[in-house]
Structure 1
Amino acid sequence: MRVVVLRLGHRPERDMRITTHVGLVARAFGAEEMLLAARDQGVVDSLEDVVKRWGGSFAVRHDVRWREEVREFRESGGVVVHLTMYGSRLSEVMDQIRAHDRIMVAVGAEKVPADLYGMADWNVGVGNQPHSEVAALAVFLDRLMEGKELDREFQGQLKIVPTPRGKQVVERSPAGDGMPDQGD
């Protein structure tokens, strides 16, 4: 399954942190790419740095023309899901959405353009209450992936070793052999 996240309404002066979090959630919860419908190299650089250090093949593009991206995605056989508190209940449409191989998930920062509601194959409400687009995306992707995304292994320079207490991070060798770097 290919999942792409489309971030709309990003305001560089106000939304860098939250948009970066949208990208972090997208990457960690199984999406392959984030499209940012605004110009913000800082967000791109932050997410590319995470991919470099923590692994994965997540891509980020900014300054995209969102209507064109949606149209092309649909024309190539993909479906578009718009996360909005006004949409259909997630539990009622998830099986229909999951039946598709290519899914674009649109999340807004501010009021999204009205035509997105008509362009989307589904307008989906995650709880039908006001809350964070980051939370909505995380819940949606977790349900879409049926929890399997939480067990994925990323081949990066850094890896967290799950522990009941404390923190354990392994720094892998630059050779990429999965062995901890022995240091100098």
Structure 2
Amino acid sequence: MKIEVLRIGTRLVRDDRVTTHVTLVSRAFGASKIYMYDANPEIKETIEKVNKMWGSDFKVEIIENWKDVIKSKKKDLFKIVHLTMYGENINDVQDQVRGEEKILIVVGAEKVPREAYDMADYNIAIGNQPHSEISALAILMDRILQGQHLQKKYSGGEREIIPTKKGKNVIDKTDN
């Protein structure tokens, strides 16, 4: 399954951190790319540093028009999954979404334009109450990938975490 993420909207002050976290979750939970509309370009630089340090070919693209991305992805046979607290409960649609080959997950910030709801193939709620878009994205991706992303090995990084019961074990690959 190929998963990409589209972040639309911005709320001044708090959103650089939130959008960075949406991007980190996208990367860690198995997406190959995120498109960011109306976002701080420094977030792209931050993720490039994370990729260099820990490995990954995850891509960040700053875009001018989020609707054009959705239209293009639809032409490329992606299913559009819009995360919203107003949508269908994830428990009712997760199996159907899991069967899709290519998915673009739309993660909004403040008030999402009505067009996003209309353009989506799925409007999905993690719960029908206000909640964090960061946690909603993580839950959705975990549900549709059924934990497979947790086994993913990243290559090409300067460092690698060795899982351990206590403490920290990190290999620095730049030490020769």
* Same fold flag (TM > 0.5): yes
TM-score range, shorter chain: over 0.9
8 Å CA contact 1:35, 1:64 repeated in 2: no
For 1:24 and 1:30, the matched residues in 2 are separated by 10
- Identify the residue that residue 69 of structure 1 maps to in structure 2: 69
Larger Rg: 1
Q: Which has the higher contact order (CA 8 A, sep 6+)?
A: 2
For 1:39 and 1:126, the matched residues in 2 are separated by 24
Q: What is the TM-score normalised by the length of structure 1?
A: 0.91
- Identify the residue that residue 161 of structure 1 maps to in structure 2: 162
For 2:70 and 2:113, the matched residues in 1 are separated by 13
Stretch of structure 1 that moved more, 26-35 or 88-97: 88-97
For 2:39 and 2:6, the matched residues in 1 are separated by 13
For 1:9 and 1:130, the matched residues in 2 are separated by 17
Return 5+ residue gaps in structure 1 as ranges. 174-180
8 Å CA contact 2:3, 2:32 repeated in 1: yes
Q: Measure how far apart 1:12 and its partner are.
A: 5.4
Paired-residue identity, % = 42
Q: Measure how far apart 1:111 and its partner are.
A: 0.9
The size of the alignment, in residue pairs, is: 175
- Identify the residue that residue 20 of structure 2 maps to in structure 1: 20
For 2:103 and 2:64, the matched residues in 1 are separated by 17
For 2:85 and 2:72, the matched residues in 1 are separated by 26
Return 5+ residue gaps in structure 2 as ranges. none
How do 1:12-161 and structure 2 match up within 5 A? Answer: 13-155=13-155, 156-161=157-162
Q: Measure how far apart 1:11 and its partner are.
A: 3.7
